[in-house]
Structure 1
Amino acid sequence: MDTLKNKYDSIIFDLDGTLWDSTANVAEAWQAAKQQVDYIKDDVTVAHVASIVGMAYDAIFEKLFPYITAEQRNEFKGIAAKSELEVLHRKGGTWYPQLLETLKDLATRYKLFIVSNCQSGYIETFLKMDGLDGLFIGHQCYGTKTQPKWQNIVDVVNDYELKAPVYVGDTMGDYEASKKAGVPFIFAAYGFGVVEQDQVATLKELEALKNIL
């Protein structure tokens, strides 16, 4: 793994399943949103939310609620999005072990960024949590431009003139996006997905990044 030291100038992180786990509180928020409409049949569970981690925000509601109309889906997405940010603002998500210590260490050597498929305001909610202020130089998400993750990665690389970035994520979607963007991929195996090919490193825990990079 020492061959990765001094190889990159920046690290772009996925958020869900890589830096924190917000599934329990997102499920609570979407369940609260369900109570405001009469067309969602089933309760929203943590398992439901875990099954869509990493998907673009619009696609999530198509997968979870294929039986409702496009108009209903659009309405519920808006209600759920508002509820989600309200709950996360109060409760946040569960940080992976040694998150703050790891990020502070990495920030002394690398430029740090976040690219996620979440809604607008979601990354900002994460960044407002205690201790994270100033650690990340920039971020981009699906909700800002409704464009695919690979394009958001490319935009961050270009906007900040990164010469040798690496992307850290936990799903095949993250791997595919990083590959399409032409950025090497580190797999966070403690997250929600499985990647078995082409990663430059595999993390069993987030803090391993301090030694790998």
Structure 2
Amino acid sequence: MKVKDTLLLFDLDGTLWDSAAPVAEAWNEVFQRECPGLPLLTNDDIHSVMGLTMKEIGQTLYADLEIPRRDEIFDICCVYEVEYLHSHCGTLYPDFRATMEALKAEGYQLAVVSNCQRGYIDAFLASSGAGDLFLDYEEWERTGLTKGENIRLVMERNGYKKGVYIGDTKKDQEASLQAGIPFIHAAYGFGKAENPDGVINALTELPAALKKLLK
């Protein structure tokens, strides 16, 4: 594979940033307003469900809550979280911008594909100031497709037959397999992988990992 023929697609949570703190703050505001007495969430609670869709998150964190009310509360959380993140940036992983700029200087185009709600990636791009770095993105709620299908969708609409997906969980690895492209595991994130095509322990290791994978 040649650099100019290969699209780099990134997972978001646990790969480019950690938004657990502002997400917990936003959700807890909703809980206190909509359902006083509901146990508040910690950063660790949010970390435990990173990578799941919003519906799966609601079912996982509050399985004992009446389903109609649970769905209603998490719909409100979904909307308010996006608003909150526009002005409360998550923690970007070290050397995020420098690494993305270095990859673009080498000729790569970059995209983001995440199992998130509509508007979440826009909030990331706005609060991080990274809108100029990425060619395209896709979200689960906007398409209703699996992550693997969204990876292929982004590749096809930008004219790419080859790509590499960078993510931090086994689900990311499975999405890469579904999309038919190599997977690089961001081992500094929230999950594990089994025999990935490459491993990085920091974002700064990505350019070298790509050279090794694509040579």
TM-score by length of 2: 0.91
Structural mapping, 1:1-213, within 5 Å: 6=3, 9-38=6-35, 41-108=38-105, 109-197=107-195, 199-213=196-210
* Runs (5+) with no aligned partner, structure 1: none
Report the RMSD for the aligned CA atoms in angstroms: 1.8
CA distance in 2: counterparts of 1:40 and 1:87, whole angstroms: 22
What is the distance in 1 between the residues matched to 2:149 and 2:97? 28
Report the structure, 1 or 2, having the larger helix content. 2
Q: Distance in 2 between matches of 1:152 and 1:161?
A: 14
C-alpha deviations, 1:115-135, integer Å up to 9, x for none?
000111110011113541321
Q: Secondary structure at the match of 1:36?
A: helix
| Counterpart contact for 2:54–2:78, Cα < 8 Å | no
Separation in structure 2 between the aligned mates of residue 174 and residue 39 of structure 1, nearest angstrom: 35
Structure 1, 15-24 or 154-163: larger mean CA deviation:
154-163
In 2, are the aligned partners of 1:120 and 1:144 still within 8 Å (CA)? yes
Is the Cα contact below 8 Å between 2:95 and 2:204 reproduced in 1? Answer: yes
Counterpart residue identity of residue 202, structure 1? V
* Counterpart contact for 1:8–1:164, Cα < 8 Å: yes
Moved more, 124-133 or 22-31: 124-133
CA distance in 2, matches of 1:91, 1:58: 23
Query: 1:6 & 1:158 partners in 2: Cα distance?
Result: 17
Residues 82-91 or 38-47, more deviating:
38-47
Q: May I ask how many residue pairs the two structures share in their alignment?
A: 209
Percent of pairs with identical residues: 39
Q: Give every structure 1 segment of 4 or more consecutive aligned residues whose post-TM-superposition deviation is greater than 4 Å.
A: 4-8
Q: Which runs of 5+ in 2 are unaligned?
A: 211-215
